[in-house]
Structures are given as structure tokens and as C-alpha cells.
A and B are shown apart, each in its own frame.
Chain A
Amino acid sequence: MGLGLRFLLRDLRAGELTVLFLAVSVAVTSITSVGFFADRVRQALVRNAHELLGADLLVSADHPLPAEYLQAARARGLATAQSLSFVSMARTPDGVQLAAIKAVGPGYPLRGNLRIAHDATVTVVRHGPPRGSVWVDPRFANLTAVASGDRLELGDATFTIAARLEHEPDQGMSFLNLAPRVMMHLDDVAATGLIQPGSRIRYQLYVAGDAGAVAAYRAWIEPRLQRGERIQGLEDARPEVREGLDRAQTFLGLTALLAVILAAVSISLASRRYVERHYDGYAVMRCLGAVQGRLVRLFAGQFLLLGAVAGLLGCLLGYAAQALIGRLLDDLIGTPLPQPGARTVLQGLAIGYVLLLGFALPPLVQLKRVPALHVLRREAGRPRASPLVAYAAGLVTLAVLVVWQTNDTRLAAYTLAGFAVAAAVFALMALASVHLAALAGRRSSFAWRYGLGSLRRRSRANAVQLVALALGLTAILLLAFTRGDLIAAWRAKTPPDAPNRFIINIQPEQREALLDFFRSHGLPQPVLYPMVRGRLIAINDRPVRPEDYPDERTRNLVEREFNLSYMHTLPSHNRIIQGQWFSDDDRARGALSIEAGIAKTLGVKLGDRLTWSVAGQIVTAPVTSVRALDWDSMQVNFFVIAPPELLAGFPASYITSFRIEPAQAAGLNALVRAFPNLSVIDTAAILQQALDLMDRMIAAVQFVFLFALGAGVLVLYTALIASQGERQREAALLIALGASRTQVVAAQRTEYLVIGLVAGLLAAGAAAMIGWVLAAQVFEFAHYTPNPWLLLAGPALGLACVAINLWLSTRVALHTPPTAVLREET
């Protein structure tokens, strides 16, 4: 057994390394639990995104796909499945119902599961209905009052309804799903005779498998795509879901980052304490004849071992923690979380060592320089606080780690800058307040004079402690308040009274009847927006061609017809950011208002003239305003709006959105029976899917925050015990010199009171600042006000922290005979 190991074990056993060991372990635990869990959640979320597609890659077209697409996928070893979707009337014993038919072949779904119900039992399956059977969704069952076992006719074929389809992975992906779903087997389609020339049918090829093979397949197929064919991967999946994913990753990254910073603070403080407590011992060893190199090897070996043991323990705890989190979140996430990659273990160990080398080494190198003379003359070479420069390597490595962990340089930069500025400001303010307090306390009672005086006497040590405490408190406040505020703001982006149903395809002559229907059912009057379909053909007389746009989404956008609308007044959830809403002149001459995002995508600026093909006619008008839309509002939104004068003459259908409570939902069925051509879209279901996703993310982030919080608490603990020994000796000395215990307690109380209060106030200010910067710059919330409770919570938390420590330290100090404490010191 090496001497280093023996020394490590002795130190560990004697509790000399407890704090340092704990700091490294907690650091690695928090980092790896974040790492493991983030890895698993990321995988699960990615899988969820897959589930939105039912595949890793989806190729779809409005015509049968070339056979080579399928062959190429199979040749690459990818799993494939096919489906057809179309809208058709379905005949049930009691009547007819428009249905979105989806015919699925073997293998479907490649990703995600189907949930089907027979009566009350729900089963999870990974296949479509067998031949001769169909599954209908609850909406279809409600609308037609069919049950399992009933017959259903599609075209020329008759099927048996075998089950209720509760959930399909790739639902809500396209407007074909707006009608209730009937799912059938792909091989039964021919028998229905519904596939006729001119039928609107969506052909889909699902592809899934090894990420590399999928990417290769995508690279192969992209240049071969014909007009009307498109592919969707995860990154092309629904943008609002994508955005949620990005935000979740930002949150997780931020959390991981806080844990890293806090760990560094803990480790540097714990190392300083270690050096202070081991300085004498190393001097004795020098005196006993240990050469410098021997001592360096000794403590280097000791710390390398410590890093390995604490790191591995951290990884183990991190793994256990994430397993627990995974189990807790299993229900929320729906799908079991995949196992984390082993890479996280290496990352955890690496981070443990980086922290140890970067933040433990600067104080530790002093042990190398311990003069042997120190054993005879204590004033010879006292350990000193390492200058900030000594931590430069550690700080740079930390910055690199932070960038790597967040995978977002901007977020990393803001957070690091926030902490750096806070640390500098803290240090200055801490020194200033320590001196001010001492000045103020000069003429007061013993307790105040002595307490404040010792605050100043130890001004540097106190400033360090104050900064550490303030940093830890900042993190805790950031987690406790800012997190909540940011998440609340995020949630608030979708208002609770957001519309949950869209009705499309309303014919002009149905408007009055529809509004009557709403009135008679006690529902608020919805706004009906006219919708005219038009294809963008030129910008400033330059023809628009899809191939001119490198971005695939833009190409798809340009290829499709736009839904144009016209209206007199600007919808309340729209905001003009450039130009003016239609003036009388604009109305007379023709004008367009365009949404800011699409304007940017298409490269359209204010004043550009857009030419549209609408119902075979050419319409040209200049852009006179650019609007910002809140897509989270779930209101009807249009990319392009014209004044009524420009488009009112064209055939239009109407669209509306409204909110209906579950209790009123039965009325909707009556509505559909009354107006069979209307399509009622349940956006609540779509919204719920998005909200579920967000909820899962928030829950995950909260759990991850718990570890950063743990790391923060350790910083506080480390900072406070750092000076405990000295305070204990001082208390013993004062008592030995005749001070009463009450006086000693009061003096210490005063000192801690100032530290806790100042640290808390500094932390509150810093947390507010950081939160504000994050909200504005990273999460892009327009309106964010720091929580006013910070001002109260900061000082309160600071006082609570020092109170606990005060109780601990004076309890020890007052129950240890002065001689016992003083003897150790001599």
C-alpha cells in the first residue's frame, strides 16, 4: 500500500478530507446526474420527436413514391413502413361521417406506440389493424355512436370495427388528421376502390434505424426529391415542439452549469482549509527529513487518489440519482427512459479532476514550499490565500467546460460573465461593507465593537467568505426564484383561456347559421376570418421559384398555396412592428401586411411588391406593414393579410378559433351533424401534447436543479466552516481572558449578522440581474421583472445560513474547555 494511499485513508478517517471529498463527490454527483439524466431525457425527447413522426425520417408525397426510395432504405439496413392517408366518407349503420383514413402497412409505427381500447381495457400495440378490421378514434366513435364489432363501409369494402384507437404516434402532423381517424390495413385499400385518378392521397414512407444510416439515406434522397415530395426529419418536425426541445436543453444546460461553478467554489475553499490544517504536518515531515519531491509526490498521489475515489463515488451516486429521477418521471415521460451512455462516467471523472487540478491545486502547491523551519518558528512561511491568477487555469477550464456543457456559447458567456462580474462586485462591496461596519461600530457596546472589529481584522478572510456565501446564495436564489419566474413566464406564453378548437371550411352562406348556433349554445361569438388561397408568384416582379431558396422549409412554403385573409382592423393579438396598418389610401390602392418571420424567410421587406395568383387571377400589392405574431396564443393567425377591398371578390371559406370547455363539447357533435362539411379541429389535443412535453421538461429541469441546489448548500457549508476553527480559538481565548459567554456569543453574532445580511443583499441583486439578462437574452421573454421577494429572501436566507453555523460553532466553542482549544493551537 503506497504511502499516499495510507495518508489519504488516515486523512479521510480523521475527517480532514471530508469536506473536500464531499465537494468533489457532490460536484461529480451533480454533474453526472445532470449528465446521465440529461442524456436520458435528451434521448427520450429525441425519441418523442421521433414519435411525432412515427419514424426517424418521413418521406411523403401527393403521388405514389418511386420504388427505389423504399429499396434504398432497405438496402441501408433501415426499417421501413408505408402508409396512405386520404379523406373519405365512412358509412356506419346509422349514417355517414367524413373520416381521415389512414391505411398502414406492416412495420408501422417504427417509433412510438399505438394505444387501442376494447371496451374499458387499453392495450399498447406496435402495429396497425389486421386485414378486414378497422380501428376508429374516440371522436369518430362519438360522432357516429359506433362500438366495437359494428360494421363500417369504406367505398366498396366492408370492415369490422375491432377497437377504439386512443393514440397514434404521428397524429396531429397534418391537416388530413382534422377529420376523425379511421385506421385500416394498407392491403385492404385496393378493395375499397377509393384510389382513383385525381383522389387527394398522401403517400408516406417511414424510415428508422441507426442515426448514421438515416443521415446517409437522407443525403441520398434529398437531391432526388421531385416536386410534391418532401422529407421530414426530427429537425423539421413541428417547429413549436422543436422550440420546446431547444428551451428544455437550455434549461438543463444552465442547471448543469450552475453545479459546475458551485463545485469549483466549494473545492477551492475546502482546499484552502486543508492546506491550513496540514501546513504544520508537512513542516514536521520536512523536519523529519522528507525531501520536497517526496512531499509533492505524496500529496499529489493523495489528491489523485481522492479524485478517483470521490469521482467514482460521485458517478455512482449520480447514476443512482438519475435512476431515481428516471423512475419518478417514467409516468410523465410516458416512454421508459433509455440507459445513459458510459461517456458520462468519463466526463464526470474528467470534470472531477479538472475541478481538483484547477481549484484545489493553487492552494495545495503551498504545501510543497512549507519551510521546515516552520516547526520552530511559526511565523516562518504561513500559508497564504492564493491570488486569483493562480486559479486562471482553473477558471479557463471552467469556462470551456461551461461552453461544452451548455452547448450554447451565448448562454455560457452570459452566465460566466454574470458570475465573474458578481464575484468582482461582491469582493469590492464585501471589503467596503466590512470596513464601514467596523467604523460604525467603534463607539458601541463590547459585542458590537468586538464583533465588527474582528470583521475588519479578518477583512480579507471575511471578504472571501462573504463572496462565497453570496455566490452560493445567488445560485440558490437563482434556482428558487429565477427558475420559477422563467418557467412561469414560459408557461404564461400559452394563456389558460387560449382557444382550443378551430373550425375550417366554413362556407360564406353558413356564417349566420354558425353564429346562431354559438348563440343558442351560450358560447361567445367567434370571429370568422375569411381565407383565400393564393400562390406567391413574384416579389418585386421577380418570379419566385422554390429552387431559389436554399432552405428546405422555405422551399416547401413557397411551393404551397398561402392562406391569405382580409380584414378592416388589426387582430388584437397582432402587433405592427414596421410600417402602418392599412390607411384609406392603402385600401383604395391595395396593400399587404406580412408576418415578420415569414418576411425574413422569404426575404421580403417593407415596400416590396408581392404578386399572387388567386383563383387564376393575378393580384399585386405592396407590403405596407410587418406584423409580429404571438404564435403561442393559439389564435387564428395569417402570414399575409390584405384590406377587404383587395380580396373580397374572390371565393373564400372562413376559419375561426374559439374556446370550449369539456362540458360543452357535446354541442360540437351537434354542430358537426348540423354542418357536415365543417372540419372541427381539436387544437386542445395538439396544445395538450405540447404542454405535456413542456411539463415533462419542467419536471426534469426541477429535478436537475435539486443537485445544483445541493452543490450550493455545500458551498455555504464550506465557506462557513472555513473560519470556524479560528473563531472557536478566538472564543476560547476571550473566555480564558475573562469575557462572559454571553459577550462572546453576542460578538460572534454581530459579525455573522453583518456577513449574512450583506451576502444576502448582494446575492439578491446578482440573482435579479442574472435572471433579467437570461430572460432578455436567452429565453427572449419580452416582459420579465425580477421577483421582488428576492430582496427579502436574500437577506433572510443569508441570516438563516449564518444562524445555523453560529449555533453549531458557538455550541462547540462554548462546550469545549478553553484550554482544550488553546492547547491544540500552541
Chain B
Amino acid sequence: MQSGAATLTILEDINFSVRAGEAVAIVGASGSGKSTLLSLLAGLDLPSAGEVWLDGCPLTPLDEDGRARLRARLLGFVFQSFQLLPAFTALENVMLPLELLGAEDADVRARQMLARVGLAERLHHYPKHLSGGEQQRVALARAFVVRPRLLLADEPTGNLDATTGAAVIDLMFELNAEAGTTLILVTHDEQLARRCSRQVHLVAGRLAAD
């Protein structure tokens, strides 16, 4: 992976595969390349050398829109900064991926999902009127509402205090288990990482331990 005018190798010699249903934590210090790896896995970015395969499909030959279609079909996301649309209510944020897929029953499914994450009473609240934990639960509902094959989570507790963070993580693993989703989680939180079935350690862009 190269970046900028001067060639800067961010990730090198990374080779691993994740099986369906597995829960993998990518662990490493700040700047070790965790987020870059995640962006490659999601097809948000392309490696300057090497290949990424997703659900038996190579990402490298696909153009941006091709990768976007693949994401729409397969992926769910949870971000450190929640990334809820501020102009959308909780319900509308959860409806969004369904709407983008053109689902007819977006409203019903989103309501059910929000009820599942315990926010049935908060459907019409805007993100700014929700607490951090509530926002991340909306984000979880948004991620799981499309029944993704793979959930990518980038520091999901990074912006939350310990108690709230733990509750959100519990919820995430519950949903993951219910849906049988494959989970790839980026974190520097060892405790969180240990809840995953497998841990991938990154040190300075290289795979240190698997």
C-alpha cells in the first residue's frame, strides 16, 4: 500500500483469510496500519500491490462502483465516530441502507431492528439528541438491518466510556451471533480483542501474530 508522492509503505506482507462466521480482531498500536487494512478489506481503497478477495470475488479488478455494489450486498459497517447522518432521525438512518437497496419494507424492518437494539422509543430522535451509546446502537442497527455477510467495525467503542462501550459490544456480539455474521473488528482494546475467536496483530504494517 502506497500513499502520497513519496512512496510510503503502510502495509507489507499481509496474508490472511477469514472464514465465514469467524470473529476476527485486528489489533495494533496507533499507526500500525489497522484502519488502512480495514479500508482495503472493505474495498474503500485498493492495495498498490496484492489482492483482496471478498466472498470469493477479487476486489482489485472492480471499479469504485463495482466495489460499492459488492459492499451494498455483503457489508455492514460500524465506525468509531458513528457516522450517522445528522439530518436523519434514528429510524431514517437505519432505513438508509435499505432505501439505497430499494427495499420496499425499509420502514418496518428498520423499526424492528431499532426495537431489537432497545431504541423503540427513540425512533424519531436526531443523532444530536441521542447519547453516544444510543448513537452507536443506531449505527449497529443500521449495520445489521441489511443482514450483511460481513460486519466491519472500526474502533466501535473508541468514543464511548467503558460501561457504555461494554454494553454496545455485548449487543454487537449478540446481533452477530443471531445473524451468523462474519465479524472483522479493528481495535487497540486488548480486552475487546479477546472476545473475538481470532486476533490478528499488526506491528508497523506487518503481520506480527495471528
Contacts and interface: CB of A to CB of B under 8 A. Distances in A.
Given A14-B88, A372-B68, A824-B128, A289 B44 contact: no
A375 B96 contact: no
Specify which of B79, B100, B154 lies most central, judged by the most chain A CB atoms within 10 Å of its CB.
B100
Contact of A281 (B42, B87, B159): B87
B87 A290 contact: no
Given A14-B126, A288-B77, A289-B97, A824 B86 contact: yes
Interface in A272-291: 277-278, 280-281, 283-291
B70 interface: yes
Interface residues of B, number: 35
B104 interface: no
B1 interface: no
B174 interface: no
Interface string B32-64: 000100110010110000000000000000001
B88 A10 contact: yes
A292 B65 contact: yes
A286 B99 contact: no
Interface string B128-157: 100010000000000000000000001000
A815 to B, nearest CB: 15
A376 interface: yes
Nearest to B76: A288
Interface string B6-40: 00000000000000000000000000000100110
Contacts of B44: 287, 371-373, 375-376
B133 to A, nearest CB: 12
Given A281-B85, A284-B83, A294-B100, A289 B92 contact: no
A373 B39 contact: yes
A823 interface: yes
A289 B86 contact: no
Report whether over half of chain A's contact residues are helix, strand or loop; otherwise say mixed.
helix
Given A375-B79, A376-B35, A10 B73 contact: no
Interface string A71-88: 000000000000000000
Nearest to A286: B68
A226 interface: no
B69 interface: yes
A561 interface: no
B39 A14 contact: no
A3 B88 CA distance: 13
A687 B83 CA distance: 71
B164 interface: no
A732 to B, nearest CB: 14
Interface residues of A, number: 34
Contacts of B83: 280, 283-284, 287, 375
A247 B73 CA distance: 66
Interface in B89-117: 89, 92, 96-97, 99-101
A783 interface: no
Interface in A284-340: 284-294
A6 interface: yes
B75 interface: yes
A564 B38 CA distance: 98
A6 to B, nearest CB: 7
B35 A290 contact: no
B149 to A, nearest CB: 13
Contacts of A284: 83, 85, 96
A289 B70 contact: yes
A293 B79 contact: no
B38 A288 contact: no
A329 to B, nearest CB: 43
A820 B129 CA distance: 10
Nearest to B102: A3
B72 interface: yes
Contact of A826 (B68, B92, B101, B159): B159
A695 interface: no
Contact of B92 (A10, A294, A376): A10
Contacts of A166: none
A224 interface: no
A16 interface: yes
A11 interface: yes
B188 interface: no
Contacts of A277: 86
Contact of A293 (B45, B65, B128): B65
A343 interface: no
A291 B97 CA distance: 12
A292 B77 CA distance: 19
Given A372-B44, A377-B35, A824-B86, A288 B65 contact: no
Nearest to A819: B132
A294 B68 CA distance: 11
A477 B96 CA distance: 47
**5 nearest A-B residue pairs (beta carbon):** A289-B72, A14-B87, A289-B71, A291-B65, A281-B85
16 contacts: A10-B92, A14-B87, A14-B126, A16-B86, A284-B96, A287-B44, A288-B71, A288-B96, A289-B69, A289-B73, A289-B101, A290-B72, A371-B44, A372-B42, A377-B35, A377-B39
Interface of B: 35, 38-39, 42, 44-45, 64-65, 68-73, 75, 77, 79, 81, 83, 85-89, 92, 96-97, 99-101, 126, 128, 132, 154, 159
Given A14-B88, A289-B70, 12 more contacts: A11-B87, A277-B86, A289-B71, A289-B72, A292-B64, A292-B68, A376-B35, A376-B44, A376-B79, A376-B154, A377-B35, A377-B39
